[in-house]
Structure 1
Amino acid sequence: MTTGRDDDALSWDGDDDPTLDLGDSAGSDPAPEAPARSSVPELPRGYTAVGKSSEAVGAAGTPDAASVEEETPAGGDTVAEPRSLGNGALVALGVLGGVYALYAIGWIVGGLRLQGWRPFLVTDLMYQGSLWLAVLAPVLWFATVVLLTRTGRTWVRFAWLGAGAVLLVPWPFVLIGAVGQ
């Protein structure tokens, strides 16, 4: 049985180019040696090692740990990159963002329902300022938590978002409602 290039399933113009000839498959030419692999196992791009000895596992295309230590700034400070969230965390973040948006709407509706009681409670300027601070509070809380916990653990982010969901309930809307008494 011949194993030459004439037995290939497809042939194209230029197949007889000597630079393409890697030798016959019978093994007369030794195969080129694979490049030397480092002792550090590598993960595919986009994967992160977790658990015991995860520091020893490198990602594909990243330098070894020894060269990373050489590249750190003189002060020894390293800048942590934001961690990517999983699908469940992204969905939960979107749901909580929607809750905070509804809270802002609830503060608007509930605050406007209290305008009839305003002369008895506070002056007009104080009422308007506190109303718009209350409306912006859920939005500011959500944005602040998301920005400040980018490099932190996911459970810390959701703990702060959960605390804000409890603290920022629009009480005027809850107690009076959209229609009133």
Structure 2
Amino acid sequence: MNSDSDDALSWDGDEGSARGEPVRKKPARTPSGSAATASSERPADDPTLPEGWNAVGRGSADVGRPQNEDEDERPALSTGMLLTLGVIGGVYLLYSIGWVVGGMRLKPLANLIVADAMYVPWFVLAVAAPALWFLAVWVLTRARAGWIRVALLLLGVVLLVPWPFVTVGVIGS
């Protein structure tokens, strides 16, 4: 058995690819002896592409991707915007924790006035409100200017303060 180490790294028909030339496969022969093409309507050398496809240079990231005019390339968020979103997101997370702590401390007093069936849904909504506000602002201001997004997030910081936690605190009265 005679083996060459270069044979293990190549396939039949790879001759042109090492030199950077396109590899053209020979058409397969049918039993009648005529050359068969990949598509019966057009020859294999036809450069036309199906509708919606874009021909680009070899080595490009867009090779074989369908062309889509609707696709809008949004620029990445700046470092300042990412930092601002992270800080405000952290404040909203602390607000959710504050609503949990404050709401649990307020529950015995609230049970004197309302039943659990009324208190629990509003408690859950109060805990989820900061996350819902952040998500709503993120989705609804996607195509807007960055200052609008920041302004709406700061408005949420003012509106969603966990007042049961602020007034009673962790220790309570």
**Local SS of the residue matching 1:82:** coil
- When structure 1 is superposed on structure 2, of 117-126 and 102-111 the one drifting more is 117-126
Q: What is the TM-score normalised by the length of structure 2? A: 0.58
Q: How far apart are the structure 1 equivalents of 2:91 and 2:110? A: 27
CA shift digits 1:54-94 (9 cap, x unpaired): xxxxxxxxxxxxxxxxx86xxxxx66443421111101110
Residues 1:110 and 2:102 are matched in the alignment: yes
Amino acid at match of 1:145: V
State how far apart, in whole Å, the 1-side matches of 2:157 and 2:93 are: 11
Q: Contact 1:83–1:151 at 8 Å: present in 2 too?
A: no
Asked if structure 2 preserves the Cα contact closer than 8 Å seen for 1:104 and 1:138, the reply is: yes
Change (3 A) 1:79 1:122: farther
Tell me if the contact between 1:82 and 1:150 (Cα under 8 Å) persists in the aligned partners: no
SS at match of 2:110: helix
CA-CA distance at 1:120 after TM superposition: 2.2
State the distance in 2 between where 1:137 and 1:119 align: 22
In the alignment, structure 2 segments of 5+ residues that lack a partner are 1-67
Match of 2:148 among 141, 144, 156: 156
Aligned counterpart in structure 2 of residue 84 of structure 1, from 69, 76, 81: 76
Q: What does residue 96 of structure 1 align with? A: 88
Please, which runs of 5 or more residues in structure 1 have no aligned partner?
Answer: 1-70, 73-77
User: How far did residue 151 of structure 1 move?
Assistant: 1.9
> SS in structure 2 opposite 1:94?
helix
Q: Distance in 2 between matches of 1:81 and 1:159?
A: 24
Partner of 1:177: 169
Cα distance, 1:83–1:122 mapped onto 2, change above 3 Å: farther
Cα distance in 2 between the residues matched to 1:159 and 1:83: 20
Deviation at 1:96, TM superposition (A): 0.3
Give yes or no for contact 1:83–1:150 (8 Å, CA) kept in 2: no
2:86 corresponds to which letter in structure 1?
Answer: G
Cα distance in 1 for residues equivalent to 2:107 and 2:93: 22
Deviation at 1:121, TM superposition (A): 2.4
What percent identity do the matched residue pairs reach? 50
Please tell me whether residue 168 in structure 1 is matched to residue 167 in structure 2.
Answer: no
Instruction: Note the alpha carbon deviations across 1:132-163, whole angstroms, 9 max, x for none.
Output: 00000000100111122122110000011010
CA RMSD of aligned residues (A): 1.8
Q: 1:135 to 1:106 in 2, by over 3 A?
A: same
Question: Residue in 2 aligned with 1:142?
Answer: 134
TM-score (norm 1): 0.55
